[in-house]
Amino acid sequence: RFSASSTPNHPRGIHISEKLYVCPDCGKRFGTTFALTRHRLEHTEEKPFTCADCGQSFRVLSRLTRH
């Protein structure tokens, strides 16, 4: 087992069974505000990350990076 002091930057919300943050659009629940914020992009048409080579746009930076 790892102690809390050995992993001070580890996001605790990942392991919380009680997910306190609820998406107001669909009701899906999340353990962290970051996860909820990232999820909420799924409900918008906004795609702020655009490939400089081909012009394809993405909702999240990781998808542009993978592209």
Domains for the chain: give ranges and CATH numbers. Answer: 13-66 (3.30.160.60)
Q: Which pLDDT score is estimated for 43?
A: 92
Residue 11, pLDDT score: 65
β-bridge mates for residue 21, sequence order: 30
Low-confidence residues of the chain: pLDDT under 70: 1-8, 10-16
- DSSP string over 23-52: -TTT--EESSHHHHHHHHGGGS----EE-T
